Amino acid sequence: MNSLVRKNKIDDITYHIYFIGESNSGGYALNSDASFGELDENPKVKIWDNINNDGFEDLDIGVNNLLGHTGLSNGVTHGWELQLQDKAENLSKPIYLTKCGQGGSVISQWGSAGAYYQSFVTRSDGSKTALTGLVDKTCVLISFGINDAIALTDTTTWYNDTLTWIELVKSQTNADIIVITELMANTSEKIAINTQIDNLVTALPYLEKAETSGATLRDSNHWDYSGMKTITNTMWELIK
């Protein structure tokens, strides 16, 4: 009786999860660091085909996890999707994933008329249509601001433009929750962007921040295999 009462009610939820932003939303963690079986084709996570925009397919890291992502290519690296497979194992239904990030991008490239945003809309329109009537919860996971910190973008400008962008993303995806990572605090410019991320979380009731202080790095601007897992675990606790 007690085990029935305590059954985890999220087991039957169907999630549609978007990754969007800069290179960390695609993932720069090395596939060569993955453990046995983690790179196998996995039917528990279905990823949108960003090239043909015609349906979901089983996630196969190294084959289809970085399609259409500027600056990164399949075969070498991965992002949050690797650990997302672990979360999907506890669900009775697959997780549907739509990746929309673009490496090296800054907020000025994500205006509503720009190529990056329009690519996102194409992927979102297609995946939403394919999932009509199937999704219980839509979540957007964002990594953004590192390239603007490097470019010395004015932080007030970054805040205003990113606020507008997140509101557009919310409207396009009908997201129930959006999570944005804080940046690695290894430069004063990134710390300044982190302050604005906190301000965004205050301003937008559906936006949460994923703390990343415990996530390990591959280089000064990218999380590694273990770091990506740590961040995915943090994000999952926020969205579930």
Confidence of residue 69 (pLDDT cuts 50, 70, 90): very high
* Spatial separation of the C-alpha atoms in residues 223 and 26, rounded to whole Å: 11
104 — alpha (psi -120 to 50), left (phi > 0) or beta? left
The reported pTM is: 0.94
| Percentage of residues of the chain with pLDDT beyond 70 | 96
User: Among residues of the chain, what percentage have pLDDT more than 90?
Assistant: 92
Strands 177-181 and 207-210: parallel
Q: What is the pLDDT of residue 36?
A: 87
80, 67 contact by CB (below 8 A): no
* Average pLDDT score over residue span 30-39: 95
Instruction: Characterize the bridge pairing of strands 42-48 and 95-99.
Output: parallel
Per-residue tokens: 86:
């672990």
Q: Distance (Å, rounded) from C-alpha 206 to C-alpha 228?
A: 23
pLDDT, average across residues 119-138? 98
Range from 4-13, 71-80, 128-137, 182-191 carrying the lowest mean pLDDT:
4-13
CB 139 within 8 A of CB 17: yes
Q: How far is CA 107 from CA 148, 171, 193, 239, in A?
A: 7, 18, 12, 24
Q: How confident is the model at residue 74 (pLDDT cuts 50, 70, 90)?
A: confident
Whether 7 has a pLDDT exceeding 50, the answer reads: no
Pick the residue with more confidence: 4 or 118?
118
Q: What average pLDDT does the segment 26-45 reach?
A: 96
Distance CA(81)–CA(199), nearest Å, equals 28
Q: Examine the pLDDT at 10 and tell me if it is beyond 80.
A: no
Amino acid identity of residue 46, one-letter, is: K
Give all domains of the chain, ordered by start, each with its CATH number: 2-239 (3.40.50.1110)
Looking at residue 1, its pLDDT comes to 35
Which pLDDT value is given to residue 4?
40
Range 155-178 average pLDDT: 98
